[in-house]
Structure 1
Amino acid sequence: MATTQDPALEIQELTQKINHLNYQYYQNSVSEVSDLEFDKMLKRLEELETKYPEYKLPHSPSQRVGGTITKSFETVYHRWPMLSLSNTYSEEELREFDKRVRKAVGDDVEYVCEQKFDGVAISLTYENGKLVQGATRGDGTRGDNITANVKTIRDIPLQAADEDYPALFEVRGEVFMPFRVFEELNLEREEAGEQLLANPRNATSGTLKQQDSSVVASRKLGCFSYGLLADNLPFDTHSESLQAIQKWGFKVSDTWRKCSSIDKVLDYINEWEKRRSELPIATDGVVVKVNSYALQEELGFTAKSPRWAIAYKYAAENAATKLLGMQYQVGRTGAVTPVALLEPVQLAGTVVKRASVHNANEIQRLDLRLGDTVFVEKGGEIIPKITGVDLAQRTDDSQPIFYPTHCPACGTELVRSEGEAQFYCPNEKGCEPQILAKLEHFISRKAMNVDELGPKTLEQLYKAGYVRNVADLYDITFEQLVQLDRMGEKSANNILNSLEKSKETPYERVLFALGIRFVGSTVAKKLAEQLPDLEALRGAAYDELVAINEIGDRIANSILHYFQDPDHVELLERLKAAGLKFKSENTAPEVQSNKLEGLTFVISGVFQSVSRDELQQLIISHGGKVVSSISKKLSYLVAGDKMGPSKLEKADKLGIKMLSEGEFLDMVSQER
């Protein structure tokens, strides 16, 4: 595609091209260009839209990366109510449903069967083919307007394809989190010392309610569309609507099927009860709908649900087995997690030998005892969990489980902070599994990505006394490496080269790699955006930290505690001396004017129409400077909601002029 000097035309061409490439990639699994070429086009579009915001199109693909901060979600009313479905769990009840339908409309009935994906129902409104609103189900009559978050989901078109759609229409869908993404998210939370999410549905629901749409974008949610609503629909059947919305660019699961009888419906249900483990997302049943719109209208609705549809729910997959023992694992943050050791049992196509118990409270709640017959369930969970005990099978020799008072690895007395369910081993510098887990976290793909080093080599280096912390990794010599078991000269050189290459890792990932408790990759990115070098982070006060979006009391105190430890300060100095990047290298925004030249600004709080990062970019692009602390030399404090009280007090005391969000935007838009 040839570029043009006309920014409006170039923005239009890039928007069309990138939307086409996204459609090909996410709907048809076709990559027409390399990732590098795609990223260059998207970056060019974002640069143009920043410089010429008046030319940005409503369906711009730049909205997919998020960045909108929402203080609260507006309540919106559904044009067509989002009713729930009646549920059934048996063949008999399903046949009764079929009898009721045929009694009302005759025997000439065709059904459509669809997987009942275990996600969050969403309503998508389009005007002239453009997405204008995304809303949650809520109470069925009204829900939350989460349009900014919905726009980050790549399965949802911002502009419908073709042109044969109604002027106003609504698509219903199910937003979900794939198993793979859920596992990665829980791994990240575990590494950050945060409580694990129970299942993909809960994770999806929580993600859609995030105030920052860039967080939603990072969670890689998907959406299967399953319904179309409009006045005077040009289709006679539900199946025709599914084919139409797929043609318009919506992602429709290819698992749906037309069935000519209730026996065919049951065949579909039985087939997918066995096959549903093949799907990359959670499903808990099958939705059965009368295909004909005319018959749907004739059947009508009850107060709560349509008479022309029903949901057949699968029973949760569970099994009974014996609890043989309890193992206690020590994680990177020192959290001691109980894992149940089970007599092997077949469950959902796999042999289960271990199950999650989460914490000491759960052991007590379930009244678990060694030797008990326990119920293990997968359901929507990824990791099997114990859901109960068969007390009728409990024997007199069953043994109560006593949670350890001391670390199973190093013997240090465990501690539990007020309000937390987990016990922790505080011996972070002398507890072997904690040290090894910190090293593994540091070299992991999302952190420093030292891909030539693995857990077994790290363990050898630790046991040989060569590595005790992450800074020691950069002091490893060739001679030390070749002494390890099964380590040849080529492998040793590869490890050294990989460590050298890791020094190019951006600051935000170095920050994540440090393993500060509660600082996952998303939090690390937020910190790097607002405090763009290590010295700014080290010098940040509590109020300054909690003023950053997504940073609460727990994270702020954890960061302050980390930098108060002299050993951590020494570690950081060694890493800095080794050549790691402790300063953000984000490309400076293009200079638009010098109207703020010589002025310094502190940004604090949460803003409605722009993000803090966008404010910072605006200040720099107009010649100003952003600093992190308030002093007599400061020109302005740009104040948003939830600003720390101590910062406000200090600004008042020093007589610093404060600007509201609107006043600042007026300042940069005025002619000088």
Structure 2
Amino acid sequence: MTQIQYNEKVELLISWSKAYYVDDNPIATDEEYDILNREILAYEKEYPKHTHPNTPTQRVGGLVLEGFEKAKHLSRMWSQEDIFNTGELEDWIKRASKVVDRHTMSFVCEPKFDGASLNIIYENGVLKQAITRGDGSIGEDVTQNVKTIHSIPLSIDYNELIEIRGEIVIKKDDFEKINQQRLQDGEPPFANPRNAAAGSLRQLDSAITAKRKLFFNVWGIGENTLEFEKSSEAISFIHSLGFAKPPIQTLCKTVEEIEAVYHEIIAKRESISMGLDGMVIKIDDLSAQSDLGYTVKFPRWSCAYKFPAVEKTTKVLSIALQVGRTGAITPVANVEPTLIDGSTVARATLHNFDEIKRLDLKLNDEVIIIKSGDIIPKITKVFTDRRDGTQIDITPPTNCPECNSELLVEDILIKCQNLDCPSRVVNSIIYFASKNCMNIDGLGIKIVELLVNKKKIKDVLDLYSLKYEDLEGLESFKEKKINNLLNAIANTKKTELHRVVNALGIEHIGEVASKQICLEFGADILNVTSEQLEALDGIGEQMANSLLEFIRVNRALMEKLFEIIQPTIEKKVEIDENPFKDKTIVLTGTMSVSRGIVKKELESLGAKVSGSVSKKTNYLIYGEDAGSKYDKAVSLEVKTLTEDEMRKILGE
């Protein structure tokens, strides 16, 4: 065989491979493919220096890695905002319409494949690197494994740097064959194609990846220099480079048209060879995408319209009680293990005991349980007509399941107020030390867990009795680190009283309420009455009861803590009238100075600066890259101001 004949045979094998793996339309028998493949392999073995750079024989794998290196995406890989019904679809379009003219919008609709996200970087027409999604900025380099996937070209007819993004999946038929083989080999079967795809992509032995018949579906582009005006045009160009087209891809103008495509995909879901979990909707115009930009998590120009939840019938066996950081008790239903959409579900959230009452749920009831997208499984219906007399009422607890302390019960909230409760200790100390509370630098999650596990501390008070010798010899603790931590703890002394109160993590009493109460009562906070608290603007019965119950349970601890810290007592200052006095304000986005400085500035004017937007918010003041808080403020019709507008008002 000459070099020219070899190159011709390689091009023929590439075309056969594309027809089989990408177009799903074989143009040669398996026997013909194997014979040609062996001929090419024999030539390459004899003349390794003449090997064609894109020969399909290089996809067989065989390289065993020691581990995966971390790799940075050229541009961030975003998640998708999930929507579940027509109302949420209309709300999503309405939000986009505040930036882009609704009449000019068109939407690309296509299936959302259920697999593992992958980013492929091509440069000078050659596959340079393949990276898993990871945290969106940094993933794992799986280039060697990706080169074994036939639906991913090793080279493309485009020389500029480009990131091509998509989903790695396993076709349903191939998934069944893999599981049959695993059972024959005495191995446990994969739960679903998504898990099989993700696991196959991250095999350290690329030969195993090569055997799994992974498939790549393009859904987007990252870094690029393409000059298209429409997303659909850009993706069409990517398909022309040798990537598979989706089974359905439609341009829509109206909600009705989007809904029609959505239901078409649902109807065809079982006949499509790969698993789907929804439909992706993207605004087609690329300049509109640029104008809309991103929230903290999602592009504002794209969303995932998830398929209806999968539901099954099961039986409630028992109720487990979970104690959270703030001491809130959450009931969780233990149910008969049930297979839903490829995974076994044995627990379901119930949120609170009010939910149990609303459902009229009893032990041994048969119920409907659903799993929708990434939402934790939950119970949606109780079959009361199927009761057989074995059902038992579910009663709320009166004592903490962990420490046996008496629980605070108010409406739907049931809470352990004991700061020494084992379930609260680690998280309460982490919260106490966090930046917006006592700001103890160096006391992060891992350090707190280590100190608690080594029995060096058991509550926030113990932080102030730590000595050098307590930390000496602990993992990663050297002289400098020990001294830095002890100094950071010592530096919290004389901290403002409201920061100390806020750091205790009292239910309903956040930073704003802590400041208001401490300004009003100062050192007498431990002796306030319900009437005094409720007389304050914005402090209702629920907040008052929560604070008083916390003080009752933890008075000794608070007295000792105040004695050690000697907190600074702020004095109430009369503030002149101004546009922001007594107003509730939320800050978001990047400003000319840190938001902390802006916050202090507004608080000095008598404003209450809150962390979340609600109907009671008077103003949302925003800087660059404003995120979801801005969207919520707009939806609630809260008045929004830029930082410049705020300063103009102050100047006036």
The alignment's TM-score, normalised by the length of structure 2, stands at 0.50
The alignment's TM-score, normalised by the length of structure 1, stands at 0.48
